[in-house]
Amino acid sequence: MHSAHGRRVAVLGQGYVGLPLTMRAVEAGFDVVGFDVDKARVDLLARGESFIEDIGPAAVAEAVATGRYRPTCDPGHLQGFDVAVVCVPTPLRDGAPDLTHVEQAARLLSGHLRPGCLVVLESTTYPGTTEEVFRPLLEGGGALRAGRDFRLGYSPERIDPGNPSWHLANTPKIVSGVDEDSLRAVGEFYGRLVDVVVPVPGPREAELAKLLENTFRHVNVALVNELAMYCRAAGVDVWSVLDAAGTKPFGFMRFTPGPGVGGHCLPIDPSYLSWQARRSLGSGFRFVELANDVNDRMPDYVVTRAIQSLNRRRKAVNGSSVLLLGLTYKPNSRDARKSPALAVARQLAALGAELRAVDPLIAPADVPEGITMVPCDDAQLASADLVVVLTDHDAIDWRVVERHAGRVLDTRNRLRAASADGL
């Protein structure tokens, strides 16, 4: 019987979750097949290049050079794995989780199962997916059964793109299994990759823990976003309120308002919880749905504030020159997935604004049509009818912004200039 902690690992999905895991597994001495259905991505990785900010091209090139990393689109290369980890997307479709990629991964792996192997699902999903959806497809019509013949578990990803302090190895890893032997195997595998593993009773607890983490943040961001709108109407400085509340050493955790939420988690993951609550309780998860409502309309609020700023100077949005500072979804990250800054940009463009933008991190392919990328210099700043701070990258020279920008709408509280309106 093959050991579940053998040396041949297959990682399905080579994106923001799968690629860091792949690189860490190669570093730990495993032979890794990195499977992805995107041929362009596989070709790029095979050349020793990277499209993810947390994984530099040198790391990919070094992994390829070891001979122990094979990026591939060929399912045949999954043959003979000891451990398979599924890190594929689980998007929302019409408010419901779309498990198409998870299901396809399970079917691919089902033909390559061997006695004693280990399969782990990492994709964010609703409680019950591992045992009720993933497991039956893995077992298929074959003779091998999870828990009896092979090991099966769930371990939610906790990747935070662009975070300089917390990465795969030093972030505690929740692990679970469909039985005790599976839990042990999952824990032993990740124990070779991360500093701390956190066993939980079963896959449902692990699946729900991930949703709770993101729902907690989503709800609290919505709270301070709504607070910001209230403070504006009441003539109160929301940032002073947050600074004051933040001095309490217990019972309070500071969150900050902004133009909305983005990335691969907050706009999506909490809705899995609400979707399943609707199935099991007959009504959605009310905190999630309220948070969705507040956070989803923050780009609208920013656009309204931009219109008001221009109107006060007798200017229409149509034809006005608007300079956007930062387009990715959060500071110091290249990740533009579901960025609220892009939602603001699209609305302003639809209203006829002449849009320019500064973002030293965003990939050119992620910039929407109709936005001209420009340098952050005195000419660009001074010529804008309105400057809108959407994502406050440290790489932007904020002293230049303060010196040369005229009218500013600052959604991130980055500037101290008197001409800047806060959120």
* Per-residue confidence band for 6, with pLDDT thresholds at 50, 70 and 90: low
Given its phi and psi angles, is residue 356 left (phi above 0), alpha (psi -120 to 50 degrees) or beta? Answer: beta
**Cα(157)–Cα(36) distance, rounded to whole angstroms?**
17
Count CB-CB contacts under 10 A for residue 187: 19
Task: Name the architecture of domain 8-201.
Answer: 3-Layer(aba) Sandwich (3.40)
28 Cβ partners below 8 Å, 6+ apart?
192, 193
Q: Scanning the structure block, which residue is given the tokens 């919505």?
A: 222
Residue 140, pLDDT above cutoff 60: yes
Q: Which residues of 200-209 are buried (b: 16+ CB within 10 A; e: fewer)?
A: bebbbebbbb
Q: Are 322 and 384 in contact (CB under 8 A)?
A: yes
**Among 87, 117, 231, 265, the one annotated catalytic:** 265
**Cα(317)–Cα(308) distance, rounded to whole angstroms?**
9
**Amino acid 1: pLDDT:** 34
- Coil vs helix vs strand at 378: helix
Q: Are 18 and 87 in contact (CB under 8 A)?
A: yes
From the list 330, 350, 333, 352, the residue with the least C-alpha distance to 341 is: 330
Per-residue pLDDT, averaged over 304-317, amounts to 96
Two tokens, residue 345: 């940009």
Two tokens, residue 21: 């895991």
Two tokens, residue 99: 């498990």
Q: Are 68 and 32 in contact (CB under 8 A)?
A: yes
As a dihedral over the C-alpha atoms of residue 13, residue 14, residue 18, residue 22, rounded to 10 degrees, the angle is 120
Q: Are 298 and 227 in contact (CB under 8 A)?
A: no
399 Cβ partners below 8 Å, 6+ apart?
none
Per-residue pLDDT, averaged over 76-80, amounts to 95
Average confidence score pLDDT of the chain: 93
**157, 317, 337, 362 from 366: Cα distances, Å:** 24, 24, 9, 7
Residue 63, pLDDT above cutoff 90: yes
**Amino acid 4: pLDDT:** 43
Residue 96 — φ and ψ, nearest 5°? Answer: -115, 150
Residue 142, pLDDT above cutoff 90: no
Given its phi and psi angles, is residue 236 left (phi above 0), alpha (psi -120 to 50 degrees) or beta? Answer: beta
| Residue 265 annotated as catalytic | yes
The tens digit of pLDDT for each residue in 338-393 reads 899 999 999 999 999 999 999 999 999 999 999 999 999 999 999 999 999 999 99
Per-residue pLDDT, averaged over 179-204, amounts to 98
Q: How far apart are the first and last CA of the chain?
A: 61
For CATH 1.10.1040.10, the residue range(s) in the chain are: 210-295
Two tokens, residue 282: 């007959």
**Amino acid 129: pLDDT:** 96
Rounded to the nearest angstrom, the gap between the alpha carbon of residue 303 and the centroid of all alpha carbons in its chain is 24
Per-residue pLDDT, averaged over 163-171, amounts to 91
Looking at the domain that runs over 297-422, which CATH code has it been given? 3.40.50.720
Q: Scanning the structure block, which residue is given the tokens 């008001």?
A: 308
Q: CA neighbours within 13 Å on the CB side: how many for 43?
A: 3
DSSP bridge partners of 120: 85, 153
**Amino acid 285: pLDDT:** 80
172 DSSP assignment: -
**Cα(361)–Cα(185) distance, rounded to whole angstroms?**
39
Select the more confidently predicted residue: 262 or 232: 232
For CATH 3.40.50.720, the residue range(s) in the chain are: 8-201, 297-422
From the list 172, 155, 305, the residue with the least C-alpha distance to 228 is: 305
**Cα(24)–Cα(163) distance, rounded to whole angstroms?**
17
Select the more confidently predicted residue: 9 or 51: 9
**Cα(422)–Cα(231) distance, rounded to whole angstroms?**
11
- Coil vs helix vs strand at 10: strand
The domain 210-295 belongs to what CATH superfamily? N-(1-d-carboxylethyl)-l-norvaline Dehydrogenase; domain 2 (1.10.1040.10)
From the list 89, 91, 131, 16, the residue with the least C-alpha distance to 275 is: 91
**Cα(21)–Cα(23) distance, rounded to whole angstroms?**
6
113 Cβ partners below 8 Å, 6+ apart?
119, 138, 142, 144, 149, 150
**Amino acid 272: pLDDT:** 81
**Cα(408)–Cα(418) distance, rounded to whole angstroms?**
9
As a dihedral over the C-alpha atoms of residue 187, residue 190, residue 194, residue 198, rounded to 10 degrees, the angle is -30
